[in-house]
């Protein structure tokens, strides 16, 4: 079996493979660095105990599930009080509870969501907060 223009075909395949793998070669096989998250808002600085309503590791992994469950509890059940794992009670409110402390949406929420390539649906119902310094 004879391949016509074999040089062109193999050159094209080589260029295709190089272009396809270029992102790996250019980054040296390393993934992008995670974003630096700013948690030094004025509201957080005023807190005696600087902690979220649940442990940080839990919030990083499960905040969307928590917010979804809050939405369902508030809208469908009329329950507005969340009892955290430590027994403390919080209002189930994205705007008044979460965004009260994390008022820097662009430096807190958006950095992680952009890094992960996800678009949360929070702002389809809620008004995006005005940034506070």
Residue 13 resides in a domain: no
Q: Which residues pair with 82 in a beta bridge?
A: 90
Sign for the pseudo-dihedral over CA of 52, 68, 31, 38: negative
Q: What domain count does the chain have?
A: 1
Residue 69 resides in a domain: yes
Residue 110 resides in a domain: yes
CB-CB contact of 92 with 82 (8 Å): yes
**Per-residue pLDDT tens over the stretch 64-104:** 999 999 999 999 999 999 999 999 999 999 988 999 899 88
Residue 44 resides in a domain: yes
Residue 17 resides in a domain: no
CB-CB contact of 108 with 102 (8 Å): yes
Residue 61 resides in a domain: yes
**Per-residue pLDDT tens over the stretch 29-73:** 566 778 888 888 888 889 888 889 999 999 999 999 999 999 999
Sign for the pseudo-dihedral over CA of 116, 118, 121, 123: positive
pTM of the model: 0.69
Q: Which residues contact 132 (CB under 8 A, 6 or more apart)?
A: 41, 42, 103, 104
Q: Which domain holds residue 61?
A: 40-118
């Amino acid at each position: 079996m004879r391949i016509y223009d074999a040089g062109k075909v193999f050159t094209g395949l080589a260029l295709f493979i190089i272009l396809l793998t270029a992102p790996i070669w250019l980054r040296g096989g390393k993934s992008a660095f995670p974003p630096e998250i700013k948690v030094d808002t004025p509201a957080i600085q005023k807190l005696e105990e600087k902690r979220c309503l649940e442990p940080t590791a839990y919030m990083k992994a499960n905040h969307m599930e928590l917010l979804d469950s809050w939405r369902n509890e508030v809208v469908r059940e009329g329950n507005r009080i969340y009892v955290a794992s430590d027994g403390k009670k919080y209002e189930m409110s994205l705007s008044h509870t979460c965004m009260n402390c994390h008022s820097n949406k662009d430096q807190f929420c958006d950095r992680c969501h952009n890094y992960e390539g996800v678009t949360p649906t929070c702002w389809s119902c809620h008004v995006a907060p005005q940034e506070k310094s």
